[in-house]
């Protein structure tokens, strides 16, 4: 403890003054620029991503000891989270992306947020069979903190070279594939939240095929259950609570927001139980559908076939088992008046489309199309507006098509991103629940903080989503404020004020 001469102000008062000034310095930092990703417009409107054909093992595969490393936060005290912006448009691009920065110095990537995948991967600079994407490929030789993941008992396969690096491979239902090596580096999540850059395992692609090769986005951010999911890695380290949230923008706005970590649930959130033993994906107990307030005559077991009812953010549309789809389609048709059924925009698909809707955009569709209620296990209802099950016809102005389809002969119910536009979806893995809250996702932070009373520094943070490394204190303005703070401290010391350290 350092001692200073007695002073007219107590150490407690001086500490309060200093702490208030530090809070003032924090509050006045404003990195106002926002990085927005603008995808190319190729004229196509049918881009659909699907969950993997082959789920990853749910056990820990990359710790090397074969033991589970899951840690749960038992305290209800607020915990750090990473608040991240979502970009792109679900229906035009088929996905939403967020920005991650990998390496030292950081290399930026636009990654599709995918709850159906566990591996986060980007194209490697050595990849000769990767497409041309939004950003340059990751160059591990330019990062001072990159380390290859050596072959261990948890690896599914290993490279036969001098590095003996752990390999990964992912295959998707639409026949695209990704494969490469696993590496570890510092990953930054932007400046909207309180999570600092963390060392994490990710995939460095050496080959990609299908949609993964042609897409504009750089790669995938895996949010699924099991290692090496980014969420699992952050939870294992005790950095965040075992939870994350997604909020997709509406039909006319796009974009949205994502939170890695826990949030205070807003009032009015509707919950559904999610059984992690039911399937390796995020599933819920769906018991029925209502159209215009009328219950569809369906046995609840129709939604529990094969893998059950799955939420997958990497899938664009929704897919129902045959009986459920036919009942849903018929119920919608009965509620429509003064509209004409027309052909879809793509002759390769049997889309169900309508012209003559009394709206030039998605905001007035309720004048023509009914509401749809999803009924969960204990009777909880989530009401969906037309923007949650329609997409605009790309060839006929003012026409709309059903974004819910029959899932072939597959008994699985697959709920893609279209159903949850302007809906905050909270994946509370710690309590095995998924919460739903209808809101304007383009203004999530303000609405969420108003609903929960959350006045944390992150709620008033700037919109800049660029990374701040652990050694970077921020802009020159922030450094200047630090110098001002130092000057005030020296002034207090020179006037014989007391500080206890």
**CATH number for the domain including 407?**
2.40.70.10
- Do both 218 and 89 map to the same domain? yes
Q: Is residue 470 part of a domain?
A: no
Instruction: Estimate to the nearest angstrom the gap between the alpha carbon of 310 and the chain centroid.
Output: 16
Which residue among 93, 114, 227, 449 is the active-site one? Answer: 114
Q: Is residue 329 part of a domain?
A: yes
Q: Is the pLDDT of residue 28 over 80?
A: no
- Do both 84 and 211 map to the same domain? yes
- Do both 373 and 434 map to the same domain? yes
- Do both 208 and 285 map to the same domain? no
Q: Determine the Cα angle at 364 with ends 361 and 365, to 5°.
A: 85
CA 155 – CA 374 distance, rounded (Å): 40
User: Please, are residues 400 and 392 in contact by the beta-carbon 8 Å criterion?
Assistant: yes
Give Dmax (Cα) for the chain: 87
Q: Is residue 469 part of a domain?
A: no
- Do both 492 and 412 map to the same domain? no
- 114 part of the active site: yes
- Do both 81 and 165 map to the same domain? yes
HSE at residue 465, side-chain half, CA atoms within 13 A, is 21
Which contiguous run of DSSP H or E holds residue 239?
none
Q: What is the pLDDT of residue 449?
A: 65
Q: Is residue 479 part of a domain?
A: no
Q: Is the pLDDT of residue 102 over 50?
A: yes
CA 185 – CA 470 distance, rounded (Å): 13
- Do both 229 and 201 map to the same domain? yes
Beta strands 404-406; 318-320: pairing state: parallel
CA 248 – CA 391 distance, rounded (Å): 14
- Do both 18 and 41 map to the same domain? no
What would the mean pLDDT of 135-151 be, rounded to a whole number?
97
- Do both 248 and 142 map to the same domain? yes
User: Please, are residues 280 and 309 in contact by the beta-carbon 8 Å criterion?
Assistant: no
- 312 part of the active site: yes
Residues 6+ apart with CB under 8 A from 201: 62, 149, 182, 183, 184, 227, 228, 233
Torsion of CA 357, 423, 87, 406, to 10 degrees: -60
Nearest to residue 324, comparing CAs of 305, 351, 311, 345?
305
- Segments of 219-291 assigned E as strands: 219-222, 243-248, 256-260, 270-273, 282-284, 286-291
- Do both 397 and 434 map to the same domain? yes
Q: Is residue 418 part of a domain?
A: yes
Q: Which domain holds residue 413?
A: 270-438
Of 217, 242, 260, which closes a domain? 260
Tens digit of each residue's pLDDT (9 = 90 or more) over 258-283: 999 999 999 999 999 999 999 889 99
φ, ψ for residue 381 (rounded to 5)? -120, 135
Q: Is the pLDDT of residue 69 over 60?
A: no
| Residue 392: strand pairing partners | 400
| Residue 148: strand pairing partners | 183
Residue 84: pLDDT band (50, 70, 90) is very high
Q: Is residue 228 part of a domain?
A: yes
- Do both 407 and 293 map to the same domain? yes
User: Please, are residues 253 and 279 in contact by the beta-carbon 8 Å criterion?
Assistant: no
Q: What is the pLDDT of residue 39?
A: 31
Distances in whole angstroms, Cα of residue 462 to Cα of each of 32, 326, 466, 474: 6, 47, 11, 12
Sheet containing 400-402: give its strands across: 340-342, 353-355, 400-402, 390-392
Higher pLDDT, 451 or 261: 261
Q: Is the pLDDT of residue 439 over 80?
A: yes
CA 339 – CA 358 distance, rounded (Å): 9
Q: What is the pLDDT of residue 402?
A: 97
Q: Is the pLDDT of residue 238 over 80?
A: yes
Structural domains in the chain (count): 3
Helix (H) and strand (E) counts for the chain?
A: 7, 27
Q: Is residue 65 part of a domain?
A: yes
Q: Is residue 6 part of a domain?
A: yes
- Do both 181 and 279 map to the same domain? no
Which residue among 312, 373, 428, 449 is the active-site one? Answer: 312
């Amino acid at each position: 403890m350092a001692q200073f001469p007695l002073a007219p102000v107590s150490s407690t008062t001086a500490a309060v003054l200093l702490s208030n000034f530090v809070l003032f310095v924090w509050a006045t930092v404003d990195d106002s620029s926002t990085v927005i990703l603008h995808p190319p417009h190729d004229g196509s409107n049918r881009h659909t991503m699907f969950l993997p054909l082959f789920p990853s093992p749910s056990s820990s595969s990359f710790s090397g000891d074969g033991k589970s490393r899951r840690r749960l936060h038992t305290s209800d005290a607020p915990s750090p989270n990473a608040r991240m912006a979502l970009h792109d448009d679900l229906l035009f691009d088929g996905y939403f992306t967020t920005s991650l920065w990998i390496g030292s110095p950081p290399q930026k990537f636009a990654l599709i947020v995918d709850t159906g995948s566990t591996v986060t991967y980007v194209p490697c600079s050595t990849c000769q069979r990767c497409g041309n994407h939004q950003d340059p490929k990751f160059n591990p030789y330019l990062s001072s903190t990159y380390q290859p993941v050596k072959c261990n008992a948890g690896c599914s396969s290993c490279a036969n070279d001098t590095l003996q690096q752990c390999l990964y491979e992912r295959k998707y239902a639409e026949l695209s594939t990704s494969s490469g090596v696993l590496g570890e580096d510092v990953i930054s999540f932007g400046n909207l939240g309180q999570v600092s850059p963390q060392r994490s395992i990710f995939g460095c692609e050496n080959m990609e095929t299908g949609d993964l090769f042609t897409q504009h986005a750089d790669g995938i951010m895996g949010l699924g259950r099991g290692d090496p999911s980014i969420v699992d890695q952050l939870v294992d380290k005790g950095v965040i609570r075992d939870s994350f949230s997604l909020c997709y923008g509406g039909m006319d706005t796009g974009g949205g927001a994502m939170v890695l970590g826990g949030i205070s649930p807003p009032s009015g959130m509707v919950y559904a139980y999610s059984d992690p033993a039911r399937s390796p994906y995020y599933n819920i107990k769906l018991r029925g559908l209502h159209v215009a307030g009328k219950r569809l005559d369906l046995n609840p077991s129709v939604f529990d076939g094969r893998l059950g009812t799955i939420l997958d953010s990497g899938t664009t549309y929704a897919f129902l088992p045959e009986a459920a789809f036919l009942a849903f389609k018929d119920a919608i048709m009965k509620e429509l008046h003064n509209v004409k059924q027309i052909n879809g925009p793509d002759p390769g698909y049997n889309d169900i489309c309508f012209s003559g809707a009394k709206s030039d955009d998605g905001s007035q569709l309720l004048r023509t199309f009914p509401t749809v209620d999803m009924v969960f296990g204990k009777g909880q209802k989530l009401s969906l507006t037309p923007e949650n099950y329609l997409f605009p016809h790309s060839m006929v102005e003012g026409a709309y098509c059903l974004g819910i389809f029959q899932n072939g002969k597959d008994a699985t119910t697959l709920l893609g991103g279209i159903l949850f536009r302007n809906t905050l979806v909270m994946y509370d893995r710690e309590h095995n629940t998924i919460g739903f809250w209808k809101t304007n996702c383009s203004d999530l932070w303000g609405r969420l903080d108003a609903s929960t009373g959350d006045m944390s520094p992150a709620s008033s943070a700037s919109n800049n989503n660029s990374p701040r490394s652990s050694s970077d204190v921020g802009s020159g303005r922030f450094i200047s404020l630090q110098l001002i703070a130092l000057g005030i401290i020296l002034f207090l010391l020179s006037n014989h004020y007391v500080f206890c350290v």
